[in-house]
Amino acid sequence: MPADFSDLCIELAEVVLPAGNFPETLRFFIGDLGFRLDSIIPADNPRMAQLSGHGLRLRLDAACSGDPGVIRLGTAHDGGREAIVAPNRTRIEFGPARPAMRLPELQASLCIQRFDDAHDDWKCGRAGMHYRDLIPGRQGGQFIASHIRIPAGGPVGDNVHYHDIRLQLIYCHRGWVRLVYEDQGEPFVMQAGDCVLQPSQIRHRVLESSAGLEVIEIGSPAEHMTHLDHAMALPTGRDLPQRVYGGGQTFVFHQAAQAHWRHHDETGWEVRDLGIAAATGGLAAACVVRRAACAPRDGVSTRQDKTFAFAFVLQGSMSLHVDQLPGACLSPGDAFVIPAGMQQRFADCSDDWELLQVFLPA
């Protein structure tokens, strides 16, 4: 059982540090680092002082003999300042308050990830969501694709948060989920087949879901920062569909029930575009494809010419042929990435076959 401290009525929190040479340490934190003195005792020969600044509360205590610790001060820019040591031996490190998003070098490779619910390694992530990795190796860290599910329906223990990210889209595979986004009106429900584009830094929150919800999430880079926003309440009361967020992107809520399918002349497929290309300024594109009655059963060989090409089998079955490799029979839940320059052919597609595809660039 976790400890219960509610009866203590905690009013503040502070980091306690050994004072060392008290006058020198106090002068350093106030004069050099810009902390503010809040209280001190006794006035004639101080042994304890409370300071605050930069979002931190400190207690310098002559009676403390513990670890002097490390304080990291976030700066407006990365000036390359070397770490320094305070008179009480506390190490002061400097770094950017908002580190720039790092995009690792692409390491393109052919990846086929099959679905086996009985043996797949689902990991428990935030807010009780289960995650399945669809791109092991993550193309050198430049991309991530996750199959996410919430087994139990009802309210989701999520908080208002946002991501520092280059690209993030979510496709609802099964069930439904209710979400709310910053300046995008009231909460709404995503049904199976719907898709949202989450621009960088847009505040959002997952509210509730059906039992057995499944979504596919694709993002770049693979590792990115998630920030909680404790100050913003959603909804904001504003509906600004043309608002531009981080990365120059606009929000997208694609609804399958209102979408149109178009014929793809080269392959004979029918294509449902998800509206990602326009909203990202051509950074990425996403669509769902299905077999049309006129499409050839043995498929059409094409050259994969995109930097990144991801696909997830939504339903039905197919045979994937890449270059001279043996064909791979794929079924729902299977995913693959085909590097640029390879010849690809999707054959033996069943009548109910549907495939989610994401490309960079558009």
pLDDT mean across residues, the chain: 94
CB neighbours (10 Å) of residue 109? 13
- Domain spans of the chain, in order of start: 13-96, 101-362
Tracing tokens 């934190």 back to the chain, one arrives at: 29
pLDDT (0 to 100) of residue 2: 66
Closest to 205 (Cα-Cα) out of 253, 151, 155: 155
Q: Do strands 91-96 and 70-75 pair parallel, antiparallel, or not at all (unpaired)?
A: parallel
- Tell me the per-residue pLDDT of 132-175, one tens digit each, with 9 for 90 and over: 999 999 999 999 999 999 988 899 989 999 999 999 999 999 99
Distance CA 2, CA 112 (A): 43
| CATH code 3.40.50.150 for 13-96 | no
Topology, domain 101-362: Jelly Rolls (2.60.120)
pLDDT (0 to 100) of residue 125: 75
Which one has a higher pLDDT value, 126 or 284?
284
φ/ψ of residue 190, rounded to 5? -90, 130
pLDDT at 118 over 80: no
| Residue pair 224/101 in contact by the 8 Å Cβ criterion | yes
pLDDT (0 to 100) of residue 79: 64
Helix (H) or strand (E) holding 27: helix 22-27
Helix (H) or strand (E) holding 132: strand 130-133
- Tell me the per-residue pLDDT of 215-242, one tens digit each, with 9 for 90 and over: 999 999 999 999 999 999 999 999 999 9
Residues with Cβ within 8 Å of 19's Cβ and at least 6 positions away in sequence, in order, are 25, 26, 47, 48, 49, 60, 61, 62, 64, 88
Domains 13-96 and 101-362 in one fold? no
- Tell me the per-residue pLDDT of 319-344, one tens digit each, with 9 for 90 and over: 999 998 889 999 999 999 999 999 99
Residues with Cβ within 8 Å of 44's Cβ and at least 6 positions away in sequence, in order, are none
Phi/psi region, residue 122 (left: phi>0; alpha: psi -120 to 50; beta: rest), is beta
Helix (H) or strand (E) holding 58: strand 56-61
Give the lowest-confidence range in 9-13, 53-57, 132-136, 287-291: 9-13
